[in-house]
Copies of this chain bind each other. A is one copy, B any other.
């Protein structure tokens, strides 16, 4: 995986985390900490679960600096960056796709089972956002927003696991899965495809 792509993912994640901190009126430390948690928290959970400690999220200074730069950018320029919301959502879809595939492959390379690789892939993709939400006192948005966010990641991580099992996990295949997750996420956003809530509904007269 091109390191430059991972760096973009961390940067975008850090923007989203720092923005959450800005909105909560955190102080400068809190804003940068949120940027770090959102940009590198998913990979940190992955590394702890597969035993790759210390996690790259605290030990690789290039990634840490990337998260700090993203956090500082949002700290200083949030009025302008908030207007670029649409671009951030697109970049975030790219980061989700990338993190998921990178995470699943890292798991498999560490010798995890296929099912564990699917878990760590999804966790790498959505974990940073979950940490960001927990640290700002919010219920993790990925659990309730009904957008297709975790589901494309789940499908993509499963595809990687199957390809690996079949010995077909080439770089080309990985890139294809990244594009597939990204496309699914963007199409779902564009046409407002939603994941269903509790079946058969909790509203009066239906349940």
Interface residues of A (CB under 8 A from B): 21-31, 33-34, 44, 48-51, 53-55, 58-61, 64, 75-76, 78-79, 107, 112-116, 119-120, 130, 134-140, 142-146, 150-151, 154, 194-200, 202, 207
Contact = CB atoms under 8 A, between A and B. Distances in A.
B115 A64 contact: yes
5 contacts: A21-B143, A29-B150, A49-B53, A54-B120, A60-B115
Could you tell me the dominant secondary structure of chain A's interface residues?
helix
Nearest to A18: B198
A151 B29 contact: yes
Contacts of A140: 30, 135
Given A53-B51, A76-B199, A140-B135, A115 B58 contact: yes
B137 A59 contact: no
Contact of A48 (B23, B33, B49, B195): B49
A197 B26 contact: yes
Given A25-B202, A27-B146, A30-B144, A59 B116 contact: yes
A53 B50 contact: yes
A123 B79 CA distance: 30
Contacts of A199: 28, 75-76
Given A29-B195, A33-B150, A76-B199, 8 more contacts: A22-B202, A26-B197, A27-B143, A29-B143, A48-B53, A49-B54, A59-B112, A59-B116
Nearest to A198: B22
A51 B49 contact: no
Nearest to A137: B139
4 residue pairs, one from A and one from B, having the closest CB atoms: A30-B143, A59-B116, A58-B119, A51-B53
A135 B146 contact: no
A5 B48 CA distance: 28
A198 B54 contact: no
Nearest to A45: B48
